[in-house]
Structure 1
Amino acid sequence: MLDELEVRDLGPIHHALLDPSPGMTAITGETGAGKSMLLNAIRLISGSPSRTELVSPGGDEAWVQAVFSLDEGSAALRTIEEAGLPREEDGQVFISRNIPLEGRSRAAVNGRSAPRTLLQEVASDLVTVHGQADQMRMANPSRQRDFLDSYAGDQDLLEAYAQAWSAYGQTRKRLDALRNQQADVMVQADYLRESIARIDQVDPHPGEDRDLRARRDRIEHAAQINQGVARALGALDPSQVDPDADAPSAAGLVEEAISSLEGIGVEGTFQEVAQRLRSLNTELSDLVFTLSGEVDEGGQEDDLDKINARIHDLDELVKRWGPGIDDVLAWREKAGYDLEDMDASPEKVGELQDRCEREHEAALRAGRALSDARAEAGRDLGRKVSGELGSLAMSGAGLEVKVRPRPDEDLDAHGLDDVDFLFTPYPGSPQLPMGKSASGGELSRLMLALELVAADARANQPEAGKTDNPTMTFIFDEVDAGVGGRAAVELGRRLARLAVTSQVIVVTHLPQVASWADAQFVVSKIPAGDDRVETSVGRVTGGDREREIARMLAGSESATSLDHARELLESSRL
């Protein structure tokens, strides 16, 4: 609901502050006084393009701000939160816009800068303007479809169809992707088979490349190793190198030292040293045994050739799938699993094909159910709107809502049908698409009839089926064009009826309409000096309102017109 609208330096309005009623508010005034500027202010906070010619003469910039009160759970509040903008604690939303003479227009939501597209998204859940330019948007078939769905209260069917369509779309996307990948999959599968066969042919083992390189290094340095080992053995035990050698071994010499010390026969240091020498001798024997095992007996040239050939085969694997044999083995294991999946892809295509067909049938069933509900709601909507038009000085006018089924293959995200609002403005006129067959006033009254019927439907819908925001603000301009007499009274009555469930703001020149309002604002011209004229906007109550209604009735404030104004105000009650 719109709590407040403030305007500064917009056209002829230097400053204006409106606090419209939660029910019906009428904006009246002489022609050319500037009532349209208030609508321009609403359009600006709704995200319409800015125009520098809207800035008041002599002003640097125009500025407008609207304050809305929203219930918790409002779609507009969710949009603001999703955009990362702050929320006011009391649920109010402040939307402002400035239009400088130079530079870019700026918008803000709750004090934070916001793009114009966000204003459009937020305002779409808050305000609906029914002026001639604004109503052209209702000529869009998608808006007509959305309006019909809102009237039908078919939220459950919409959600069921959306889920079925989403499931079908996802499966179809997977199926198309899998089909498109078949050629690439075949090439990749052949590559994996050849690679796995090559690895299996070589049959590497974990760490084998490191072991082979260590063996090759030993063989390549065998002479140097044997020479060094022989000299070491010759020093430790000459008999290990030359069986005929007479030189004693190191172990033998140590053994002699042990015997000499033990022969002293005195306990203490000598026995301790003898014991240490015995331990040393044991270690020397182990060292000699180890070194003697390191002497190669020859015949390793053949081994070296085999090792080099094996290393060559392993290096080929490492170059392609390395950097090490362990990595090659890991790659081979994964490739095996991938190949299993690829070999199963024809079966997967078949499974997805079957699933896609089942989900397509499910989406068709959900779409047909939605179409049936739309068709029934469309017939009811057209009949009721046509009835309302007769009470709005449009006798013989009518609306037909056509729900046209499409072929099954033309199923899309919105269902299986197209929706057309066809309007007949007068008897004998051909049916024409809405927006192309009516004047501004006729179109405004048609939209009023639509909103009235929709409001009645919302009131009768169970809570779960309601899709509209009950705090919507409806603004009507030109709705009274070409209307007078009894039809004007009925027009005012119907606007007041709509205001029972929604906030209604109407710009009107008819006293029979303004008298039904809960609040009335008058837009008037006032001298501003230097032959300038400014526009003032003020709320009228009591006697001031009676005088304004009298002016609208007779152009004067005579006793007769004032009596008539009081009578009109008193009778304008639901």
Structure 2
Amino acid sequence: MLSELSIKNFAIIDSLAISLEKGLTVLTGETGAGKSIIIDAIHLLVGGRGSAEFIRHGETKAEIEGLFQIDEPQHPVFVKASEFGIDISDGMVVIRREMSTSGKSVCRVNGKLVTIATLREIGRTLIDIHGQHEHQELMDERLHLPLLDQFGGEEIMLALSEYEKLYKRYNTAQKQLKSLSQDEQQMVHRLDLIQFQFDEIQKAELKLYEDEQLLEERKKINNYEKIHEALQTSYNALNGEQHALDWLSIAMHHLEEAANLDESLKNSSDIVSNSYFLLEDAISTIRDQLDSLDFDTERIDFIEGRLNEINQLKRKYGRTIEEIVEYGAKIEEEIETLLNRETHIAKLEKELNSIKADLLVEAKHLSSLRQTYAEQLTKKIKQELKELYMEKTVFEAHFHQTAHTFDETIDREINRTGLDVMEFYISTNPGEPLKPLSKIASGGEMSRIMLALKSIFSQHQGITSIIFDEVDTGVSGRVAQSIGEKIYKVATGSQVLCISHLPQVAAMADTHLFIAKKVTEGRTHTSVTPLAEEEKIKEIGRMIAGVEITDLTKQHANELIQQAHKIKVTS
């Protein structure tokens, strides 16, 4: 859930820190107090489109920061964060976004800088914001089939996984066949090109790490004089009369005599003796290196020529010798395929037909499951709409086409998710035809339909927080009461923030935040106050009666709160 929210210099908000709880939090207040501005800030926090116009007048930047606490180990945010290399420890996600007047936007997730696109991907797993006139996920017909798959749970997901594996093989084989079926002239040109490339690589007779060894040898030859001088000076200093090895020999013999007389000197004697023999070996090695050291002008010419040849191949075929060799192996396989094109085409066609048959079986199985769960979903949504006093509404998961109707046109219709094309259809008035959900226009009906869908899908989407921005507009009376109960029901499974003007919804709140604005020294400021029981009664009374709050109004407000309490206890 979103547990902490900090907003600075955003619209009419100068500085605001809000602690949020689980369950249903309702935000109320006069029109223009800043309720929707807070939701706008949350929207920007999770990747919404920003603008310099959001920055408070006279300030250079706006800052928004949110702390999300994730209790579910399987929450999709962990997978999404891992994709972008973001560490989540202790189930805490801190998102910070800064916007400057220059138009620059800086986003961080758990301290790591991310792009807006990355922030949006992560934000989608955390918050779903729904306003009355916004086309969110449930209004996008492209997402209806994935939502049905989520509703179907593990059974559909397993079938979809098996189908996707086959589809990947099918797609790969199809691309290979298409590539081999190109124009004859193009194939000849391609064969000539890669044959030339293969011959060039083969002729070079490359060896792994050869370039590194040559570079090291070139360095050694180019520094011949310095190396020779260093070795000769070292050898002279160590070997010969009155030099290091001679003095060490004298010390070794004297220490051996002393150790025979005093046992405590034996360790020192052994160390010097070992050092003598080690130094003797080192001198022998230096002498051999001096003898083998040679400046070969022909060798340096060969090295330069070989390195130049390798670099030319690198520019054409890969950054390293290993990549060049791998490329050579790849085109060798392609050459063989092109030379035996007809045989490979026949083999691919046979393989493709086999995969196609298996794919159609999996597609039909997947489609059958979807049809079954679509019926279950339809029944659930019908029940939800009935509870919202839309019992005459007809809802349907409408399949435009299914796998069963495309045995012969599979090549044309197949895609990664199967052969099903499904969209939610609805009719809100008896006698009216079913229409796509996205075509519904009535604000009151839209609010209830969206709530019905959210009540079901919020259990399957894994979203941490759901925000309703005045989704109860256009309803009243018993419908308003039903909407309040439905929003509360959604909140039992996840955190819900709701901006509302309905007292019936406010009465259902677990937490009631009052948003107000005041003018100080000629500037407007927004404040957020959590309401205690008495203050809650007064605010709901204001929502019922307007400006003048009477004792009767307060009594009515208190009755709403008590009624809401009974509903919560029994639900």
| TM bracket, shorter-chain basis | 0.5 to 0.7
Q: Deviations over 1:371-409 (max 9, x none)?
A: 222222223323332332233244533322101225323
Give, as a single letter, the amino acid of the residue that structure 2 aligns with 1:419.
M
Q: Is 1:535 matched with 2:535?
A: no
Q: How far apart, CA to CA, are the structure 2 residues paired with 1:488 and 1:357?
A: 58
> Which residue in 2 is equivalent to 1:33?
33
State whether structure 2 residue 446 is matched by structure 1 residue 443: yes
Residue 240 of structure 1: aligned partner: none
CA contact (8 A) 1:435 1:443 kept: no
Give the secondary structure class of the aligned counterpart of 2:149.
helix
The residue aligned with 1:99 is: 99
Q: 2:552 aligns with which of 553, 557, 560?
A: 560
**Larger deviation: 67-76 or 178-187?**
178-187
AA partner of residue 457 (structure 2) = A
Partner SS for 1:134:
coil
In the alignment, which residue of structure 1 is the partner of 2:505? 513
Task: Choose which of 537, 540, 543 in structure 2 pairs with 1:546.
Answer: 537
Contact 2:516 2:526 in 1 (8 A): yes
Alignment partner, residue 355 of structure 2: 359
* 3-state SS, counterpart of residue 118 of structure 2: helix
Residues 34-113 of structure 1 mapped to structure 2, 5 A cutoff: 34-70=34-70, 71-85=72-86, 87-113=87-113
Q: 1:9–1:428: structure 2 CA closer, same or farther, 3 Å change rule?
A: farther
Aligned residues: percent identity? 30
The C-alpha deviation readout for 1:96-148, integer Å capped at 9, x for no partner, is: 22222223122211122211101110011111111134325543322111112
CA apart distance, 1:513: 0.8
Name whichever of 118-127 and 441-450 sits farther off: 441-450
Paired residue for 2:489? 497
Q: Which secondary structure state, in structure 1, belongs to the residue aligned with residue 438 of structure 2? A: coil
Question: How far, CA to CA, are the matches of 2:555 and 2:529 in structure 1?
Answer: 23
* Matched residue, 2:243: none
Instruction: Sort the Cα spacing of 1:428 and 1:97 in 2 relative to 1 into closer, same or farther, 3 A.
Output: farther
| Counterpart secondary structure, 2:146 | helix
Q: Which amino acid in the other structure matches residue 358 of structure 2?
A: A
Contact 1:144–1:421 (8 Å) recurs in 2: yes
Gaps of 5+ in 2: 196-329
- 2:421 is paired with a residue whose SS is strand
* Residue 453 (structure 1) aligned to one of 429, 446, 456: 456
1:433 matched to which residue of 2?
436
**Could you tell me which amino acid in structure 1 is paired with residue 530 of structure 2?**
R
- 1:420 maps to what in 2? 423
Deviations 1:53-78 (A, max 9, x none): 22223333222112111233432222
Q: 1:59 to 1:433 in 2, by over 3 A?
A: same
Residue ranges of structure 1 left out of the alignment (5+ in a row): 194-333, 459-466
Contact 2:443–2:474 (8 Å) recurs in 1: no
Count residues in correspondence: 421
Deviations 1:16-57 (A, max 9, x none): 222222111111111222211111012101212112222223
CA 479–390 in structure 1, closer or farther in 2 if over 3 Å, else same: farther
Q: Spell out the pairing of 1:158-173 with structure 2 (5 A cutoff).
A: 158-173=160-175
TM-score normalised by structure 2 residue count: 0.68
Distance 1:432 1:119, change over 3 A: same
Distance change in 2, residues 1:438/1:185 (3 Å): closer
Shift of 1:189: 8.4
Contact 2:132 2:473 in 1 (8 A): no
Does structure 2 retain, via aligned residues, the 8 Å contact 1:94–1:110? yes
Which residue is 2:518 aligned to? 526
Q: Of 374, 383, 403, which residue of structure 1 is paired with 2:379?
A: 383
Corresponding residue SS for 1:135: coil
Q: What secondary structure does 1:481 align onto?
A: coil
Give the alignment of 1:32-431 within 5 angstroms. Answer: 32-70=32-70, 71-85=72-86, 87-153=87-153, 154-180=156-182, 344-405=340-401, 407=406, 408=410, 409-431=412-434
Q: Report the residue type matching 1:468 in the other structure.
A: Q
- Contact preservation (8 Å) 1:395, 1:426: no
Greater alpha carbon shift after TM alignment, 74-83 vs 386-395: 386-395
In 2, Cα distance between equivalents of 1:378 and 1:335: 49
CA contact (8 A) 2:490 2:496 kept: yes
CA contact (8 A) 2:129 2:136 kept: no
Relative to structure 1, is the Cα distance of residues 346 and 67 closer, same or farther in structure 2, using a 3 angstrom cutoff?
Answer: same
